[in-house]
Amino acid sequence: MALLRILQYPDSALKQRARPVENIDGQVAELIENMAETMYAAPGVGLAATQVGIDRRVIVLDLRPEDAEPGKHCLRLINPEIAEREGEIVWEEGCLSVPELTAPVRRARRVLVRGWTAEERQVQIEAEELLAVALQHEIDHLDGTLFLDRLSRLKRDLYRARRRKLARQGRQSSSATRPLLI
């Protein structure tokens, strides 16, 4: 397995809609395992293939309790699609591709997601609260949407200005404290 490079805003590849996986084969299985390893190393709780520069509809998520073994609860989905949305919730989100920004985002409280496993089984997941938020966040990535795009124009502009200032100063973002990064 290999760690993959996580793209960061404003990389244009993050704005591209991912293509569906046509054949679930060994390459897709290897991609999924590399994505999971990368997500754990980051550390984050979710990762979409587009975040590592791969133009395919694949996500991994792990919302395990802190004392649980990594990988045991990892959700790996191919071609996930939201079939139903219900209710509304506001959740404080962060993102591995949008460093040093967390913000409240309004999403559906409950979702029904359909997709495929690496074992070529079709699955249906009914999710609420944090799992629903995380699934919507990762599927947004596959559609070329960052959580930054769901914020007010003022918050987006302030974040962009801060990133430009750091770039002019030749500094990278630092992460002294790590919020929950989806």
Q: Tell me: pLDDT of 176 over 50.
A: no
160-169 average pLDDT score: 85
- What is residue 64's predicted lDDT score, i.e. its pLDDT? 81
Q: What's domain 12-168's superfamily in CATH?
A: Peptide deformylase (3.90.45.10)
Tokens 């359909």 locate to 114
In a 13 Å sphere around the CA of 60, the CA atoms on its Cβ side amount to 26
Pair type for strands 58-61 and 98-107: unpaired
* Active-site residue set: 138
| In contact, 114 and 83? CB cutoff 8 Å | yes
Mean pLDDT taken over the chain:
91
Q: What is the pTM of this model?
A: 0.90
88-111 average pLDDT score: 95
- What is residue 173's predicted lDDT score, i.e. its pLDDT? 53
Q: Tell me: pLDDT of 28 over 80.
A: yes
58-76 average pLDDT score: 84
Q: Which of 7-16, 64-73, 87-96, 154-163 has the lowest mean pLDDT?
A: 64-73
Alpha carbon distance 159, 40 (integer Å): 26
State how far the alpha carbon of 108 is from the alpha carbons of 18, 82, 129, 135, 144, in Å: 22, 11, 8, 10, 19
In a 13 Å sphere around the CA of 35, the CA atoms on its Cβ side amount to 30
- What is residue 172's predicted lDDT score, i.e. its pLDDT? 60
- What is residue 73's predicted lDDT score, i.e. its pLDDT? 85
